[in-house]
Every structure is written in structure tokens, then in C-alpha cells.
Amino acid sequence: MYDIKIKWFGHAAFKIEMFGKVFLIDPWILNPVSPEKKLNQVCGDFIVVTHDHGDHVGNALEILRNCPSSKAVAIYELASYIAEELGSEQRAIGGNIGGPIDLGEGFEVVLTPALHSSGKGAPTGVLISKLGNTVYHAGDTGLTYEMKLVGELYKPLVALLPIGGHFTMGPREAAYAAHLLNPKYVIPMHYGTFPMLRGTPEEFRRYLIEFGVAAELIVLKPGEETTVRAEVPRTR
């Protein structure tokens, strides 16, 4: 009941199943390294998009059209664009950086700063939380000291960090980000999709050791899933 399932489709695309809800993040499901070839079986309660680049918006609109009960969550300008494309303001939840977004049933999303670019609103990362359990997807970003605040305030259980370099952090920067965030588990992403994304999990592991990061490294292949145990507070 309290397991959190995390599936990586490759690149920055994830499915997070936690406490009865499904979140798809940056759902470029049909990316070049993904084993998925069709979208008709891919749905989520919430489709979270960190910024408007094509490799992150990905297949979001198609999924939202296929799954009429799904809602998009994104920075305000991007959410407004998605709502316009879908022809319904009710299908997208727009927010801004640092403001907790109440999704109901105890779920909260916070959009975090990301050092990157975006045409529609600011680029972001995202924190998805319930019962004190937080999954942090950094989006496309360079290393930023604000990650220390994220770690101290939200204490992420899992951190999903880009390691590919060129457009985002490389392995060294991502390992230091893990040092700042201090999660229990860390999963690398945004590498290997294209030749220029040269960072590797092996390099990432070496830097995690160098910086004394205690987090457990989980390396997934595209299409693989892992399960971590949520830390549920005891009720009195």
C-alpha cells in the first residue's frame, strides 16, 4: 500500500505511482530509447511538464486527449497553452515557482527553480508530496545552490537528476546536487538519448562516492521500474 513505484521511459520521462495516484512527468514516452511504441495504454491522473521544450512536453497533449480525466500541471504560461490546445481550462493546473499547489487527497506539488531555458514561462523542477514523502524531479537544470533549500525544507525521499551534460548537469554537477539534496534514493536521467548527452551512471557513481553522498543509487534502463518504500508517519 505504501510503496512508491517509479518507471523510467528514458530521457526525462517517468511514471510515479504513489498512494493511489499516477503522475507522468515530462512524458516523452515515444523517445528514441523508450521500449514503448504506443500511447493507448499510457495514462496518469496528473501529467506534469517541467518546461516547454519538445523533449519534455513530449506526448503530453496526446496522452491528455486519450485520457479525459487526466489533468496537466505546469508553470502558468505553459499550463495555459496546454488548456488552450485542449479547449478546456479545467484540464490544466497552472502554478508558479515556490507556491504549493493542492491537488486534493493530501497531494501537493511545488514547482522549483531550474537553470535552463523555456519559451512559455520559466523552466522548473517539481516536487510531488504526500504524507511527508516527496519525489523530486529536477527537470532540465544546471547545478544551483537552491537545491540545498529543497533538501532542507522538503527532504526528498527520491531525487531524479539529469546527468547527461551539454544542456543540463553532468555527472559531477549532479552528484554535488545529490550532496545538497540529501535524498534517500537517487536516480539518474537525461543521458544517453543523443550522442551529446555523454554523462554515464558509472561517472555519476564515482562522483557520488567522491562527495560522500549516502543516497542509494538506482540505475534504471528505459522501460524498467523500481519500487521504494514510503516512510509513512505513525498515526496516534
- Kindly write down the DSSP assignment for every residue of 60-73, as one continuous string: HHHHHHH-TT-EEE
What are the tens digits of pLDDT across the range 57-97? 999 999 999 999 999 999 999 999 999 999 999 999 999 99
Q: What is the pTM of this model?
A: 0.97
Q: Show the DSSP H helices in the chain as ranges.
A: 54-57, 60-66, 76-86, 146-154, 171-181, 201-210
Reply yes or no on whether the pLDDT at 183 is more than 90. Answer: yes
Domains of the chain: 3-225 (3.60.15.10)
Reply yes or no on whether the pLDDT at 1 is more than 60. Answer: no
| Sheet of 185-189, strands arranged across | 101-104, 107-113, 124-130, 133-137, 158-162, 185-189, 216-217
Task: Please tell me the predicted confidence (pLDDT) of residue 80.
Answer: 98
Reply yes or no on whether the pLDDT at 37 is more than 80. Answer: yes
Residue with cell 517517468: 14
Reply yes or no on whether the pLDDT at 139 is more than 90. Answer: yes
Task: Please tell me the predicted confidence (pLDDT) of residue 235.
Answer: 45
